[in-house]
Every structure is written in structure tokens, then in C-alpha cells.
């Protein structure tokens, strides 16, 4: 797929701008703090419903304004898909898909699909498990809105059960209250686990192929799913496992005041040969692993939806050595890419379709 319009009003430092990317490589270049990342962030917002930098809508609204508006218009095989989001200070959002208002935020998912690669992703392998879980969650949500809803239900139930755990320390709590939330945790939790099992299976396969190619066969990458509770053979078996363990852990959890396990503790295992790259990978190795994972994300979306997602590269070229840059550029064929950089020389020979200079939120096209 490709997008041909990004319209922003009072979004971050943009007052009112329309950006029309080309189908190939569109470059946004300029000094620091001019609005390059802000533009990519707005596209990511229309892909996932979330900013990759903040969970507070307020920060996305231009200082001094009350409402921010983002529209991204894309073309897929089956026609045009528009996502529009209005953000207000009160935190209430208005979302439209193809000009019709939607009630649930998850309904915007799957219309504009995108993969964002930012410098912090290069540290994904060494970061805390939460970063790798977010990688799984963002990807799976775009592919399956039902996953996104399961996550929402899980997080709500987790919060409720945690509140009960705290209450129970002070005064006895009716066990039935626990039952209610544990039932929801095991139901939504099982959906999440099963989706992650199948997702990581596919991801692992393509990441290991890509990694072998990037390292010219010198390294084998093994990606595994490390669930906090072992998945069963089926959804209902996983659900029963979760329910049983939650019940068993209840007393202990009350003493700790916190849930001791659950899908919010899962991790992604990343190994080079037998070595755990999360603990022992060298800086170069973990960067290559991150690159392989990101590239396989593109491949996976392409396989699942039949169309390549929009690739956004935020300042990553400058963080990669020439060899890895070339590997990345090699894979831009047939993929729409939005690339930001401060130095055009970092583009490693990518064929540029359109180039915009960004200065203080004003874009000038260089021809
Ligand atoms: N809500 C907001 N209202 C107004 N300006 C904002 C808002 N949020 C961020 N900015 C401004 O946006 C600018 C940063 O934009 P952005 O992160 O896109 O920079 P960049 O061009 O990617 O820079 P770098 O090369 O350093 O990554 C800063 O000047 C910041 O003050
Ligand atoms: Mg930036």
C-alpha cells in the first residue's frame, strides 16, 4: 500500500500542512527539532492509534491550540482508505475512517499499515522486556484488531485485580470479585498468548532468513516466544491453565500486592546461535538483530495482508554502518518509504522520489 496525503492541523509544531509523499522514497531532511519525527509520528498514529513517543494526547496538540487534527490517506488494492483523528485537550478523540465516525478506537486499525523504525528500536534487544512486548503488541494490533481489544480487556482486568489485591491486604475481599476478573484475565490472556505464539513463529522464520542474508550466513538468529505461562494446545487449554494458575497465585499475590505472572510479563527471546543476545550481544550484533526483526515485520505484514506496509525510517540511517545501510536500502524495492535524516549523505544511494526540506514546521520541496 502507499499513502499520498498527510494533512496536519495544530499537530505538534505544525500549524496547517499537507504533505504528499510519492510512491517510492520520500525524504524529509533538515536540522534538529524542525518537525521531521513529528510528521512520521502522525502517520504512525493513524496506523496504530498511538504515538510511539507519548501516551498523552495533550503533547500532540500544538502549544496554544485546543484541538489537533491528523488525516492520512492511503491507497490499497481495494481502494482508498482514509483515517482522520481529532485530538482534544480533554483527552477525547474523534476518529473517522473513510469519512465515517467510528465509536471504538480500534476500528482505525488495519486501514493504514506501517512499520516505524527509530533509533531507539536499535536498542530493542538490550532493552527491558516491555519494549519487546510493545513490538509484538503494535504489530499484532495492526494485523488483528481483535488482538487490540483483547489487550484492552486484559489491561482493564489486570488493573481491577491489582486493586482487589491491595484491598485484600487491608480487609477480606469477596472471592467472587476475584473470580470475575480472573475469568476475564484468563479469557483475554489466552487470546493474547495464542496470537503471540503464532505471530512469533512466523516472525522467527522470516527474521532468521533475513539475518542470515544480512550477515552473509555468519550468524543464525533464533527468535522465541517466552511466555510467563506455558501455552496449551488450544485456546481453551491455555485459558484453563491461566485460570488455574491465577487461582493458585491469589494468596501469594495478595501478600505481594501485585500480580506475579501473566501475559504482561511475557518476553521475546533473541539468540544468536546459542548465545542470548539480550545479555551478551555486542553492539553491532544487537543492531543487526533489531534490523532483521524490523525487516521481518515488513515481510510479515506483506504476507498477512497481501500488501507491503509503509516503512518509516526515522533517522536510523545515521546510526547504521555503511554495510547495514546498504542491506536496508536493498529491501526498499516495492515498499513506500518515508525517511528522515539530517544529512542527505546518509541515504546510502537510496533512489529518492521526493525530497522535502523541513524548517520550523514548513516543508519546501527540493526539485
Ligand atoms: N505540542 C507541541 N507544540 C508545539 N511544538 C511542539 C510540540 N511538540 C513538539 N514540538 C516541537 O517540535 C520540535 C521537534 O520536532 P521533531 O521531534 O519532529 O524534530 P526533528 O526534526 O525530528 O529533530 P531531530 O533531528 O532532532 O530528531 C521541537 O521544536 C518541539 O519544540
Ligand atoms: Mg527526529
- Interior CA angle at 359 toward 119 and 354, to 5°? 75
pLDDT at 9: 98
Q: Is pLDDT of 348 > 90?
A: no
pLDDT value of position 319: 87
At 23 the pLDDT is 97
Which atom of ligand 1 sits closest to the CA of residue 41?
Answer: 18
Read off the pLDDT band of 52 (50, 70, 90).
very high
CA 350 to chain centre: 25
User: 14 alpha carbon to ligand 1 midpoint, in Å?
Assistant: 9
Q: Is residue 91 over pLDDT 90? A: no
| 265-290 average pLDDT score | 96
- For ion ligand 2, residues whose CB falls within 5 Å: 36-37
Strand order across the 275-276 sheet: 221-226, 267-272, 275-276
pLDDT (0 to 100) of residue 79:
97
Residues 6+ apart with CB under 8 A from 64: none
User: What CATH architecture applies to the domain 1-113+311-367?
Assistant: 3-Layer(aba) Sandwich (3.40)
Ligand positioned closest to the Cα atom of 42:
1
Q: Distance between CA 47 and CA 35 in Å, rounded?
A: 19
Task: Tell which residue, 24, 25, 28, has the closest CA to residue 36.
Answer: 28
Residue nearest to ligand 1 atom 19, measured at CA? 33
Cα 33 to averaged position of ligand 2 atoms, centre (Å):
7
Q: How many CA atoms lie within 13 A of 300 on its CB side?
A: 27
33 lines ligand 1 (CB under 6 A): yes
Atom number in ligand 1 closest to CA 63: 3
Number of the ligand closest to the Cα of 87? 1
Measured between alpha carbons, how far is residue 14 from residues 50, 51, 91, 363 in Å? 18, 16, 19, 10
- 312 CA distance to ligand 2 middle (Å): 12
Contact status, residue 15 vs residue 343, Cβ threshold 8 Å: no
| Cα distance between residue 300 and residue 307, in whole Å | 10
Which of the listed residues 37, 58, 61, 117 should we mutate to test ligand 1's pocket, taking the one with most ligand atoms within 8 A of CB? Answer: 37
Q: Give the mean pLDDT of 126-151.
A: 95
User: What's residue 71's pLDDT?
Assistant: 98
What would the DSSP string read from start to end of 152-215?
HHHHHHHHHHHHHHHHHHHS---HHHHHHHHHHHHHHHHHHHHHHHHHHHHHHHHHHHHHHHHT
Q: What is the Å distance from ligand 1's center to 112 Cα?
A: 23
**Does 253 have pLDDT greater than 80?**
yes
pLDDT over 90 at 321, yes or no = no
The number of the ligand 1 atom at minimal distance from the alpha carbon of 62 is 3
Give 37 Cα–ligand 2 centroid separation in angstroms. 4
Give the mean model confidence (pLDDT) for residues 56-78. Answer: 97
Which pTM was predicted?
0.94
Mean of the pLDDT values across residues 23-40?
97
State the Cα–Cα distance between residues 46 and 86, nearest whole angstrom.
11
For the residues 302-316, what does the mean pLDDT come to? 95
Three-class SS state of 64: coil
Q: Which atom of ligand 1 is nearest to the CA of 59?
A: 1
> Looking at ligand 1, which residue's alpha carbon is closest to its atom 11?
13
Average pLDDT over residues 7-11: 98
How far apart, in whole angstroms, are the C-alpha atoms of residue 79 and residue 19? 20
CA distances from 58 to 11, 27, 62, 135 (A): 10, 28, 9, 24
Ligand 1 touching residue 59 (CB < 6 A): yes
Taking each helix axis as running N to C, give the angle between helix 283-305 and helix 129-143, from 0 to 180 degrees, rounded to the nearest 10: 20
Pairing outcome for strands 114-117 and 310-314 = parallel
Local structure of 136: helix, strand or coil: helix
Mean pLDDT computed over every residue of the chain = 95
Q: Where are the domains of the chain?
A: 1-113+311-367, 122-306
**Pocket lining: 51 vs ligand 1, CB cutoff 6 Å:** no
CATH of domain 122-306: 1.20.1050.90
pLDDT at 345 over 90: no
* Percent of the chain's residues with pLDDT above 90: 89
The CA distance from 344 to 330, in Å, is 17
Which residue of 38, 60, 87 sits with most ligand 1 atoms within 8 Å of its CB, as the best mutation to test the pocket? 38
Answer yes or no: are the C-beta atoms of 152 and 189 closer than 8 Å: no
CA of 346 relative to ligand 2 center, distance in Å: 15
pLDDT at 263: 94
Query: Quick check: 327 pLDDT over 90?
Result: no
For residue 324, the model assigns a pLDDT of 87
Please list the alpha-helical segments (H only) found in the chain. Answer: 36-48, 129-143, 145-170, 175-214, 235-256, 277-280, 283-305, 322-330
- Residue nearest atom 30 of ligand 1, based on CA coordinates: 33
**Which ligand has the shortest distance to the CA of 11?**
1
Amino acid at each position: 500500500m502507499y499513502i499520498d496525503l498527510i494533512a496536519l492541523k495544530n499537530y505538534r509544531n505544525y500549524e496547517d500542512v499537507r504533505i504528499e509523499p510519492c510512491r517510492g522514497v520520500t525524504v524529509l531532511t533538515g536540522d534538529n527539532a524542525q518537525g521531521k519525527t513529528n510528521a512520521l509520528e502522525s502517520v504512525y498514529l493513524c496506523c496504530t492509534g498511538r504515538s510511539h513517543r507519548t501516551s498523552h494526547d495533550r503533547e500532540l496538540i500544538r502549544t496554544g491550540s485546543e484541538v489537533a487534527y491528523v488525516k492520512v490517506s492511503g491507497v490499497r488494492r481495494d481502494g482508498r482508505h482514509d483515517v482522520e483523528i481529532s485530538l482534544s485537550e480533554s483527552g477525547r478523540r474523534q476518529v473517522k475512517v473513510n469519512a465515517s465516525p467510528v465509536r471504538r478506537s480500534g476500528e482505525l486499525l488495519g486501514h493504514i499499515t506501517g512499520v516505524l523504525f527509530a533509533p531507539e528500536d536499535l536498542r530493542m534487544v538490550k532493552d527491558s522486556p516491555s519494549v519487546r512486548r510493545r513490538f509484538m503488541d503494535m504489530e499484532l494490533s495492526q494485523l488483528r484488531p481483535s488482538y487490540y481489544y483483547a489487550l484492552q480487556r486484559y489491561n482493564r482486568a489486570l488493573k481491577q485485580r491489582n486493586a482487589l489485591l491491595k484491598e485484600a491486604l487491608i480487609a477480606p475481599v469477596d472471592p467472587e470479585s476475584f473470580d470475575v476478573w480472573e475469568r476475564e484475565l484468563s479469557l483475554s490472556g489466552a487470546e493474547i498468548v495464542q496470537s503471540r505464539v503464532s505471530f512469533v513463529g512466523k516472525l522467527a522464520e522470516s527474521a532468521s532468513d533475513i539475518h542470515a542474508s544480512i550477515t552473509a550466513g555468519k550468524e543464525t538468529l533464533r527468535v522465541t516466544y517466552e511466555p510467563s505461562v506455558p501455552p496449551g494446545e488450544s485456546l481453551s487449554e491455555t485459558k484453563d491453565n491461566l485460570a488455574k494458575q491465577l487461582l493458585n497465585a491469589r494468596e501469594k499475590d495478595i501478600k505481594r500486592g501485585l500480580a506475579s505472572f501473566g501475559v504482561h510479563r511475557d518476553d521475546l527471546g533473541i539468540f544468536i546461535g546459542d548465545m542470548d543476545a539480550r545479555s551478551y550481544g555486542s553492539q553491532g550484533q544487537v543492531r543487526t538483530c533489531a534490523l532483521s526483526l524490523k525487516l521481518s515485520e515488513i515481510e510479515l505484514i506483506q504476507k498477512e495482508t497481501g500488501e507491503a506496509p509503509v516503512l518509516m525510517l526515522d533517522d536510523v540511517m545515521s546510526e547504521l554502518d555503511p554495510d547495514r545501510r546498504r542491506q536496508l536500502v536493498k529491501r526498499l524495492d516495492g515498499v513506500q518509504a518515508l525517511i528522515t535524516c539530517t544529512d542527505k549523505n546518509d541515504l546510502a544511494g537510496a533512489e529518492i522520489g521526493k525530497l522535502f526540506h523541513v524548517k520550523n514546521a514548513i516543508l519546501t520541496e527540493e526539485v
